[in-house]
Chains A and B, each alone.
Chain A
Amino acid sequence: AMEGGPSARIREGDCAVLKRDEVFKAVSVLRRRKIIFEKQWFYLDNAIGHIYGTTFEVTSGGNLQPKQEVEETTTETKEAGTDNRNIVDDGKSQKLTHDDIKALKDKGIKGQEIVQQLIENSTTFRDKTEFAQDKYIKKKKKKYEAVIKIVKPSTRILSTMYYAREPGKINHLRYDTLAQMLTLGNVHAGNKMIVMETCAGLVLGAVMERMGGYGSIIQMYPGGGPVRAATTCFGFPKPFFDNLHEFPLSKVQSLLSGTFTTETLPAEPEENALVEEESNGLTEEKQTSLQETEEEPTTEATMEINPIEEQDTMDINAEDTEFKENKEKENKENVREKQIKQWERRKKLIEAAALLGEKNADGLIVASKFHPTSLLLSLLDFVAPSRPFVVYCQYKEPLLECYTKLRERGGVINLKLSETWLRNYQVLPDRTHPKLTMSGGGGYLLSGITVILEKGKSDSSSSEALKMEEPSSKRCKLQELPC
């Protein structure tokens, strides 16, 4: 089946996600490669062959070992206090010193045993209430019992990970907001979608997951090429990329006005091509490796969120020097390869232009750092009537303007400006309450549906539409609420 995805077992070369408590990290599963996660280092070698979702413990030498299901050690004396009236914070309740604990760790004692020792050496533990004891154990377990779960990447996991680790890279698009976008945009198999994002390729990946390899996606990109660092983390099978197209934003106007021809594209000189690759290293590299035979597995650098750009720039510089050194020997071969690459790039560009030119896309998803108004006013022309569109913006104000301009343009109905709030709960017997913190902002969405734009009449019809759709305050009744 097209939707395949990674198998249930961890395989070498897979894109996987490490999870410790609520912290995630995307990695490439490679043998003999040191991974540093949550201040620990280890190798993934032993994880290969295990089912996704398995929990591992880090043992000496950085090996992973599947964690045995241990019966919770509830056999200890169930002694507990009722309140804290006699508990004094004198800083001396723990009889183990820092050095003692370090010595235990250095001896390679299991985290579980260290926690047990901490409990035994706490003079106040037995006077704590049952709930306080529970909390104490949980806190110590979190610190000393290093268990790592290896999970399959998904939009759920990657969007949560990005929002926690690198919110700046995804314009603070919170995962519940992304979920709204996919639903409001009716993203599903068979669609022809237009995606314009500057969210590291996370939104593109989410759309690709929902389309399962059926249909086509045209990614609009600013600058030298689309960024797909997060897309790579999904580990999509190769066929998913067959119908993924890209088109530069800078050519949109010429495409809309009909002046776009492939002749207007400069026959890219070599320096130019290099510059482009530099600003776009990851994508180009990934794409090439996808197009050609998979001779080298994805490096860890592409999976790390942080150092992608620097890493790639360095690689390319190195390539550049190498290129010069071996110039005489490989010059001919290189030129030919470049020409092929250029030709392929051009062919893909023509394909994308043709797809857009049909002006029958099934939806438009925008989530970028740019002001949304001009993007919407142009890109909506490529969308068929009676199709949804969704625009994300970190801020509300640009969407207010976008709303007004879309009304003036006409050809859109059911415009809605919205935001979601997300609240997490602690659910425990007698201790259920909302979690202490919730996210302050996950961005705003403007969504709507396209309709046939009547040319020439746009002014009158839009004023009519305005009258028709402008909600009057009197009509704010409950039954009208979109839930």
Chain B
Amino acid sequence: MSFVEYGDTIKDGDTAIVFLGHESMFPVKVQHGTVTQTKYGVIRHSTDLIGKKYGSKVTCSKGGWVFILHPTPELWTMNLPHRTQILYSTDISIITMMLELKPGSIVCESGTGSGSLSHALIRTVAPTGHLYTVEFHHQRAEKARQEFREHGVEHLVTVTNQDVCRNGFGVSNIADAVFLDIPSPWEAIGHAKSALKAEGGRICSFSPCIEQVQRTCLAMEEYGFTEINTLEILLRVYNVRTISLQIPDLGKAAEDNSSSGFDSSNPSQQGSPCANLQQGTVQFKSGVPLREVVGHTGYLTFATKS
């Protein structure tokens, strides 16, 4: 296993995802002789995990079961230990596409933070690209290095512990794309420009506040970036539910039922409303939005150096 290459069986040293149920999972480092506690009981790595296929159902000591999943950057994002606020897959996906990343791309990123985006970037630029990521917080930089080693992607990434606003990315004229998620991105635009290839490239800056965006856009213009474009992407998740709504009693006689407008001839039809006039309800499937959703993560500003 590695985060950039699928493997079929679980091996000693792998990072695997234990899936307990709806939106409930956690990562586990597979090691001979180790046990992991879950609410369904104990998982013994040597017997329950190592040598089994990814995607297997594993029965825990109390008789409950879990699925063991192959790690992906998306699963990692949902389960990683937070050292900072992180970027989630919805933002990551538009960043990846708008920066035009693909195998072979050279990317600069700052800050590394908890490495949520870093894993996704590495996955996309592998096997011939490279990520230069800059983190000014010493401990976070060190932790990121360790995770990249454990996930088998250290050859695809260089972590530098310095202040990107003062010292830049530590590379010049080699990047196809630059990504900034720092409090004052406008102070790093000049460094971003010199990190990008002479023939051009793409830049993206993520900021939660509009004032940050305004300063960043001005700085981008000042440094000659073009096609400056700010956008926001929001995820809407729907629960799939079977809903029944009661039919009101309008005092109509039973013989009117036939002309009530509901097609009760094929009540088992999927998707179409199903009238059960005896019980006085209509059933249907619906995609129900969650009661509370994320309304804002950050503004994404993209631009081109040409």
Contact = CB atoms under 8 A, between A and B. Distances in A.
Contact of B96 (A182, A360, A388): A182
Contact of A422 (B89, B233, B292, B306): B233
A372 interface: no
A404 B96 CA distance: 32
Contacts of A276: none
A209 interface: yes
Nearest to A4: B104
A318 interface: no
Q: Sort chain B's interface into a size bin.
A: 35 or more
Nearest to B301: A427
Contacts of A449: 19, 55, 69
A456 B230 CA distance: 52
B23 interface: yes
B88 interface: yes
A400 B285 contact: yes
B306 A418 contact: no
Interface in B269-306: 270-271, 285-287, 290-294, 297, 299, 301, 304, 306
B234 interface: yes
A190 interface: yes
Interface in A1-16: 1-4, 8
Interface residues of A, number: 81
Interface string A351-365: 000000000101000
Interface string A186-220: 10111100000000000000000111111000000
Interface in A381-406: 384-388, 396-401, 403-404
A450 B55 contact: yes
A396 B237 CA distance: 12
Contact of B92 (A178, A183, A401): A183
B55 A386 contact: yes
A268 B23 CA distance: 51
Contacts of A398: 271
Interface stretch (A89-97, A221-229, A471-479): A471-479
A122 interface: no
Given A53-B200, A190-B4, A401-B271, A471 B232 contact: no
Interface stretch (B157-165, B213-221, B245-253): B213-221
A151 to B, nearest CB: 9
Nearest to B213: A427
Contacts of B270: 401, 404
A434 to B, nearest CB: 8
A188 B237 CA distance: 25
Contacts of B299: 425
B286 A384 contact: no
Contacts of B68: 386
Nearest to A397: B271
B74 interface: yes
A480 B23 contact: yes
A483 B86 CA distance: 10
Interface in B62-92: 67-70, 72-74, 78, 88-90, 92
Interface in B114-137: 120, 123-124, 126-128
Nearest to A206: B97
Nearest to B90: A420
A450 B229 CA distance: 37
B54 A404 contact: no
A429 B239 CA distance: 41
Given A210-B124, A397-B271, A471-B239, A452 B231 contact: no
B294 A470 contact: no
Contact of B19 (A397, A401, A414, A427): A414
Interface string B88-116: 11101110111010111000000000000
Given A418-B237, A478-B292, A400 B287 contact: yes
Interface in A270-311: none
Contacts of B90: 180, 420, 483
A188 B230 CA distance: 27
A424 interface: yes
Nearest to B126: A189
A362 B57 CA distance: 19
Interface string A47-82: 000011110000000000000000000000000000
Contacts of A178: 97
Q: Which 5 A-B pairs have the closest CB atoms?
A: A385-B55, A212-B103, A386-B55, A53-B306, A183-B93
Interface of B: 4-6, 8, 19, 21-23, 53-57, 67-70, 72-74, 78, 88-90, 92-94, 96-98, 100, 102-104, 120, 123-124, 126-128, 199-200, 210, 213-214, 217-218, 228-240, 270-271, 285-287, 290-294, 297, 299, 301, 304, 306
22 contacts: A1-B128, A4-B104, A51-B200, A188-B4, A190-B5, A384-B6, A386-B55, A388-B72, A396-B238, A397-B285, A399-B287, A414-B23, A415-B240, A418-B235, A422-B233, A424-B230, A425-B230, A425-B299, A427-B214, A427-B228, A452-B53, A482-B237
Given A51-B199, A387-B55, A482-B23, 5 more contacts: A180-B89, A387-B6, A404-B270, A415-B240, A423-B233
